[in-house]
Amino acid sequence: MDIRDIFALAPVIPVLIIERLADAVPLARALCAGGLPVLEVTMRTPVALDAIRAMRDAVPEAVVGVGTLTRPADFAAAEAAGAQFGVSPGLTPELVAAAHQATFPLLPGVMTPSEVIAARLAGFSALKLFPASQAGGLGMLKALASPFGDVLFCPTGGISYETAPEFLALPNVACVGGSWLAPAKLLNAGDWAGIEALARQAAALRL
């Protein structure tokens, strides 16, 4: 699958910060059961790569990616863990080179028109607007639509269930990234039914 194929699987990609490895599998099962099979596990905790391995082994219906790729070495580590796609908060020549060597597709982050141009020149036409709210949100995406008609975006950062429909209504937005699907309160309580309910609610945004 390429990034556009992954975009088409669900209207929301949960952005996950997993502190406890034991949470990985039940979290993936809950999100998939709620209709959100595409999962981004951010490399912000020591257990992130092990969480990806666990999800891939136990939840085959999930499409598990790795987020917060910021160094070329991250790509090799993510690949070894079984990541099926990667996400970066920005894009540099070094990350472009690493992405072209990786076996999984990359969703690179951009914030400005110049960064969109650089990403397109590097061969990327599916991009993450990040951080979406600080980058101008809806107004920025509308402004980018005309000069970059071939680009699809997954805005991420500051988006909530309440604001997601406005983003998803834009023709150049394929999906959104959201951290509200796995709040710390529910994770800490092991409330997988509550997380599944949030996922089901988010999955219905496409309807």
Name the nearest CA neighbour of 194 among 13, 65, 37, 30.
Answer: 30
- Clarify whether 40 is annotated catalytic: yes
Strand partners, 64: 39
String of b and e for 40-54 (b: at least 16 CB within 10 Å)?
bbbbebebbbebbbb
Instruction: For residue 131, say if its preceding peptide bond is cis, omega within 30 degrees of 0.
Output: yes
Is 79 a catalytic site residue?
Answer: no
Query: DSSP states of 46-111 as a string?
Result: TTHHHHHHHHHHH-TT-EEEEE---SHHHHHHHHHHT-SEEE-SS--HHHHHHHHHSSS-EE-EE-
- List the catalytic residue out of 128, 142, 162, 166: 128
Beta bridge partners of 129: 110
Supply angle C-alpha 22, 82, 46, rounded to 5: 45
Dihedral of the alpha carbons of 23, 61, 165, 192, in degrees to the nearest 10: -30
Active site residues: 40, 128
